[in-house]
Amino acid sequence: MTDLERAWAELDEANAWLGWRVGDPYLHEEMASNPWEQYAYDPTERPKAGGRSREWTAVGRGEVDVVREMARCLREIGAGRAPR
């Protein structure tokens, strides 16, 4: 199993009971410090004008880093805490 596969397994475990929709990591080549981002949101939230309130964007230096960061953030959200 590769590091990326392990990171996705960690993310799947963190999201198991939350059931958030998690997008693929994407690279912003123009951003130097943390060029990778990954977006997730709660699909059970009713959309309102102005956007969602239960959503999160994780950032990281590499693809594996951003997937692990999203897993950490979803664990925090699942525990009722705001990720930092």
Structural domains of the chain ordered from first start: 3-45+53-78 (3.30.160)
Amino acid at 54: R
pLDDT at 6 exceeding the cut of 90: yes
Pull the structure tokens for residue 81: 């805490």
CA 30 to chain centre: 21
Looking at per-residue pLDDT, the higher value among 83 and 48 belongs to: 83
Pull the structure tokens for residue 52: 């969602």
Cα distances (Å, whole numbers) of residue 26 to 45, 60, 77, 78: 24, 10, 22, 24
In this structure, how many other beta carbons lie within 10 angstroms of the beta carbon of residue 11?
24
For residue 42, what pLDDT is reported?
94
pLDDT in tens, 15-60: 999 999 999 999 988 877 779 999 999 999 987 777 788 999 999 9
